[in-house]
């Protein structure tokens, strides 16, 4: 993208080109970041470079849950105190962090690494679906929690997995959907409000 000009040294132009490849980074942001890195103390720049190299060399995918990990199997899969009969299926590794933060789930996880998006050409074959089926063959699992995002792609993925897993005889559940904490009823859309009404619960005294 950036040809080396008299105004830009070749290594700097190369750095700008590499930063420009990152998601959400435009040409101007790439230039700003490159000049920021240039002014950074050499130690900090080296630490950043080694962190990038290390993450590529040492971090891998857990062969069981497909989460990112530096030891295979990952710590969650090795934890003997977790309930192995429940698997929570999520789209991305970051979703596991969100669920673990609640400290109210002690089952296992499975990361699909994406969601079905037919319009973008992303189908089940691009996700870690066959690995999930492999885990179910042991017969140990009795419940699958579909925790894909409550958007169109997430719903499509959940519907596809339901269709695929139902013949296997495991209980399939979906995270509850409805009004978010702090939200206003008057701004709720039809779909959310309908599901909130369907999922209403008796108030316990």
Binding positions for another protein, rule: CB under 8 A? 24, 116, 118-121, 123-124, 151-152, 155-156, 159-160, 163-164, 167, 180-184, 187-192, 194
Q: Which is nearer to another protein, 65 or 153 (CB)?
A: 153
Task: Write down the least CB distance from residue 140 to another protein, Å.
Answer: 23
Only one residue has tokens 């702090």, namely 182
Measured distance CA(161)–CA(124) in Å, rounded: 9
Measured distance CA(194)–CA(192) in Å, rounded: 5
Q: Which is nearer to another protein, 58 or 194 (CB)?
A: 194
Only one residue has tokens 């790439």, namely 30
Q: Which is nearer to another protein, 142 or 166 (CB)?
A: 166
Task: Write down the least CB distance from residue 119 to another protein, Å.
Answer: 5
Task: Write down the least CB distance from residue 152 to another protein, Å.
Answer: 5
Q: Which is nearer to another protein, 42 or 181 (CB)?
A: 181
Distances (CA, A) of 104 to 16, 60, 101, 108, 184: 44, 27, 8, 12, 26
Task: Write down the least CB distance from residue 96 to another protein, Å.
Answer: 17
The answer to whether 105 and 133 have CB atoms below 8 angstroms apart is: no
Contact residues for 153 (Cβ-Cβ < 8 A; gap 6+): 115, 116, 117
């Amino acid at each position: 993208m950036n040809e080396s000009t008299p105004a830009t040294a070749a290594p700097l132009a190369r750095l700008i080109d590499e930063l420009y490849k990152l998601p959400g980074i435009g040409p101007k942001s790439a230039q700003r970041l490159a000049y920021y890195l240039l002014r950074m103390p050499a130690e900090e720049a080296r630490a950043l470079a080694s962190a990038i190299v290390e993450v590529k060399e040492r971090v891998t995918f857990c062969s069981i849950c497909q989460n990112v990990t530096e030891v295979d199997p990952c710590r969650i899969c090795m934890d003997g105190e977790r309930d192995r009969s429940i698997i929570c299926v999520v789209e991305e590794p970051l979703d596991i962090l969100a669920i673990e933060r609640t400290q109210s789930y002690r089952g296992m996880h499975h990361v699909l690494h994406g969601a079905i998006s037919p319009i973008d050409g992303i189908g089940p074959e691009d996700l870690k679906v066959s690995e999930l089926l492999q885990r179910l063959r042991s017969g140990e699992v009795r419940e699958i929690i579909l925790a894909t995002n409550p958007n169109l792609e997430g719903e499509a993925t959940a519907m596809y997995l339901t269709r695929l897993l139902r013949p296997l005889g495991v209980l399939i559940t979906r995270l509850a959907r409805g009004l978010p904490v702090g939200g206003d009823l008057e701004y709720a859309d039809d779909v959310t409000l309908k599901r909130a009404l369907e999922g209403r619960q008796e108030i316990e005294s």
